[in-house]
């Protein structure tokens, strides 16, 4: 179940997955590092502020003494003014005597909680704790200061408190600096990761470009050195697949060649035998009605054989175009020469139907193409025109040389029934025949124009069907591009 789900799920982009799996953990690590950096910075800032608070407490403790059997604190106003600086914020103090009496300062300053341990960072007997004073959070340093004279001795408590405004300002500044630095680091790391992923995937992009730019007939092996070592098994598998595909295509080509030979030979023999039978019927004497019936049967056999030969030849031509035309060599071909050759080949068929077959080709009209396929294209066009043109009609072959901004044009125009504009797109599909064609030539195969379409597409030419100049026939034009 899990395997089927994984196979049906699209994997998406390799680059995006690499970026996600690299950047997301990096961002999480950076954020975790920012948290610890911020905590360490706060601890360092608290230690610095506590040290400054302790220094103020010690300065005040040095002015506590016993005078006349009482604990007194001589705190001049200059010292108090020095306490209230921007560095420490607002300062409060309280001096408690040996017996817990208030000696000086703010009597309502929060006392030391019982569970506050002594600080281990300093040799002095000092405790640090947080409290609220008049609605504001404060930090208090409580120092036990020994005091004595000849008459008494004991421990005085000196408390110095500061508001947390300065600490919070420093904390916010530390947080801002930390986040700014970490954000900059994330951007730099993201750019480096993106560049690294792009650099690592560049061989795959080169492989993709090479495969995309190959022609249909190029099934040669891909160089495994184009990609990383981990991707070479995939390239080797792809080369093996293309090798098997080459074997399949070669097998299909052999089959087409064998089928062409095997089909044409018996069909030609059958047609020859039918013609011999017709001549033998004319030679031998017999009942006129019997001989006429026999001749009709033999004539039907010959017509059916002709249709079968035509269908086989055109099917094999279509197969050759689809499977083997890519490997045929392209060269400069003169359309006038091709038209003259086709005209000579079709002359007897035109004479047999009393059709005027003419050629208008003042220029050679060279194009870049395959001579055999161009001959097949024009032969199909002329054969169709002769088949669907009534006796006494005309078929014209025209060849126009390339002009400025336009390529060479090959035209075949007849005086037949033509094809309605609504049907012209559909007649280019195999085995489709319009009603007029079925009536005038029931033995047709419906493949001639489909073959013409494929050969024209193979040469990058544009096929156009239009009404002939007589307003009734069909004119087929093949426009070759200037690039061709």
| Percent over 70 (pLDDT), the chain | 76
Is the domain of 243 the same as that of 270? yes
| Percent over 90 (pLDDT), the chain | 8
How many helices (H) does the chain have, and how many strands (E)? Answer: 10, 14
* Residue 281 phi, psi dihedral angles, 5° rounding: -65, -40
Is the domain of 430 the same as that of 302? no
Is the domain of 361 the same as that of 470? yes
Residue of 152, 112, 109 lying closest to 129 (CA atoms): 112
14 is a domain residue? no
Is the domain of 310 the same as that of 401? no
Residue of 414, 428, 431 lying closest to 457 (CA atoms): 428
In angstroms, what CA-CA distances link 430 with 80, 90, 343? 107, 97, 25
Is the domain of 445 the same as that of 365? yes
Q: What is the pLDDT of residues 191-208, one digit of tens each?
A: 888 888 888 878 878 877
221 is a domain residue? no
Is the domain of 301 the same as that of 401? no
Using an 8 Å Cβ cutoff, are 160 and 140 in contact? yes
Using an 8 Å Cβ cutoff, are 325 and 361 in contact? no
- Residue 422 pLDDT: 82
- Helix (H) / strand (E) containing 394: strand 394-400
- Helix (H) / strand (E) containing 193: helix 165-212
Q: What is the pLDDT of residues 210-258, one digit of tens each?
A: 777 877 677 777 777 777 777 778 878 888 888 887 777 776 676 666 6
Is the domain of 368 the same as that of 475? yes
- The SS3 call for residue 14 is helix
Q: Enter the DSSP assignment of 369.
A: E
Using an 8 Å Cβ cutoff, are 412 and 378 in contact? yes
Residue 464 CA to residue 409 CA, distance in Å, equals 11
Number of structural domains (the chain) is: 3
Beta strands at 136-148 and 126-133: parallel, antiparallel or unpaired: antiparallel
Alpha-helical (H) ranges within 284-370 are 288-324, 335-352
213 is a domain residue? no
pLDDT tier at 54, thresholds 50, 70, 90: confident
137 is a domain residue? yes
Domain that holds residue 66: 20-173
Is the domain of 64 the same as that of 168? yes
Q: What is the mean pLDDT of residues 424-450?
A: 64
Is the domain of 35 the same as that of 164? yes
Q: What is the mean pLDDT of residues 94-111?
A: 87
Residue 88 CA to residue 83 CA, distance in Å, equals 7
Is the domain of 245 the same as that of 289? yes
Residue 268 CA to residue 270 CA, distance in Å, equals 5
* Residue 426 phi, psi dihedral angles, 5° rounding: -75, -30
With a CB cutoff of 8 Å and minimum separation 6, the contacts of 177 are: none
- Residue 1 pLDDT: 43
59 is a domain residue? yes
Question: Position of tokens 């799996």?
Answer: 21
pLDDT tier at 416, thresholds 50, 70, 90: confident
Q: Enter the DSSP assignment of 137.
A: E
70 is a domain residue? yes
- Residue 394 pLDDT: 92
Is the domain of 438 the same as that of 416? yes
Domain boundary among 292, 324, 356: 324
Residue 376 CA to residue 316 CA, distance in Å, equals 12
Is the domain of 337 the same as that of 293? no
- Residue 185 pLDDT: 84
CA-based end-to-end distance of the chain: 55
Question: CATH number, domain at 300?
Answer: 1.10.287.130
The total number of residues shown for the chain amounts to 484
With a CB cutoff of 8 Å and minimum separation 6, the contacts of 300 are: none
Average pLDDT value over all residues in the chain: 78
- Residue 86 pLDDT: 44
- Residue 90 pLDDT: 80
223 is a domain residue? no
11 is a domain residue? no
pTM given for the model: 0.44
Q: What is the pLDDT of residues 120-171, one digit of tens each?
A: 777 778 888 989 988 888 889 998 888 888 778 888 898 998 888 877 777 7
Residue 360 CA to residue 345 CA, distance in Å, equals 16
Question: CATH number, domain at 338?
Answer: 3.30.565.10
Domain boundary among 146, 173, 200: 173
In angstroms, what CA-CA distances link 11 with 8, 15, 299? 9, 11, 65
Cβ neighbour number for residue 464 with a 10 Å cutoff = 14
- Residue 74 pLDDT: 79
Domain boundary among 289, 324, 359: 324
- Residue 433 pLDDT: 65
Residue 360: strand pairing partners: 398
DSSP string, 26-65: HHHHHHHHHHHHHHHHHHHHHHHHHHHHHHHHHHHHTTEE
């Amino acid at each position: 179940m899990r395997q089927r789900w994984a196979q049906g799920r699209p994997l998406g982009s390799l680059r995006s997955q690499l970026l996600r799996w690299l950047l997301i953990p990096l961002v999480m690590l950076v954020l975790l590092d920012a948290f610890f950096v911020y905590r360490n910075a706060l601890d360092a800032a608290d230690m610095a502020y506590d040290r400054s608070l302790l220094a103020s407490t010690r300065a005040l403790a040095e002015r506590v003494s016993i005078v006349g059997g009482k604990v007194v604190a001589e705190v001049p106003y200059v010292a108090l003014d020095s306490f209230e600086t921007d560095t420490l914020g607002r300062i409060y103090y309280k001096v408690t005597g040996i017996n817990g009496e208030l000696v000086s300062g703010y009597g309502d300053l929060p006392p030391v909680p019982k569970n506050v341990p002594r600080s281990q960072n300093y040799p002095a007997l000092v405790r640090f704790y947080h409290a609220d004073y008049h609605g504001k959070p404060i930090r208090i340093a409580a120092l036990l200061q020994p005091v004595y004279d000849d008459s008494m001795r004991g421990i005085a408590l000196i408390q110095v408190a500061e508001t947390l405004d300065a600490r919070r300002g420093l904390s916010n500044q530390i947080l801002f600096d930390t986040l700014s630095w970490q954000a900059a680091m994330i951007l730099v790391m993201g750019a480096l990761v993106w560049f690294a992923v792009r650099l690592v995937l560049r061989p795959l992009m080169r492989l993709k470009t090479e495969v995309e730019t190959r022609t249909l007939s190029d099934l040669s092996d891909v160089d495994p050195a184009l990609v990383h070592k981990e991707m070479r098994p995939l390239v080797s598998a792809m080369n093996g697949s293309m090798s098997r595909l080459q074997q399949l295509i070669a097998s299909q080509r052999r089959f087409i060649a064998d089928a062409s030979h095997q089909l044409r030979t018996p069909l030609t023999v059958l047609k020859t035998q039918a013609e011999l039978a017709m001549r033998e019927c004319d030679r031998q004497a017999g009942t006129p009605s019997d001989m006429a019936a026999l001749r009709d049967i033999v004539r039907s056999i010959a017509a059916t054989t002709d249709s079968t030969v035509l269908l086989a030849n055109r099917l094999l031509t279509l197969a050759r175009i689809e499977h083997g035309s890519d490997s045929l060599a392209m060269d400069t071909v003169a359309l006038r020469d091709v038209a003259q050759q086709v005209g000579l080949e079709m002359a007897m068929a035109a004479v047999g139907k009393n059709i005027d077959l003419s050629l208008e080709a003042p220029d050679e009209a060279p194009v870049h193409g395959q001579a055999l396929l161009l001959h097949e294209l024009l032969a199909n066009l002329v054969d169709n025109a002769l088949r669907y043109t009534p006796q006494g009609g005309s078929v014209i072959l025209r060849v126009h040389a390339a002009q400025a901004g336009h390529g060479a044009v090959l035209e075949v125009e007849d005086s037949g029934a033509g094809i309605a504009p609504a049907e012209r797109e559909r007649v280019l599909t195999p085995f489709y025949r319009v009603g007029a064609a079925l009536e005038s030539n029931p033995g047709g195969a419906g493949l001639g124009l489909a073959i013409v379409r494929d050969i024209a597409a193979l040469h990058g030419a544009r096929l156009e069907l239009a009404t002939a100049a007589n307003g009734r026939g069909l004119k087929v034009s093949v426009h070759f591009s200037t690039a061709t």
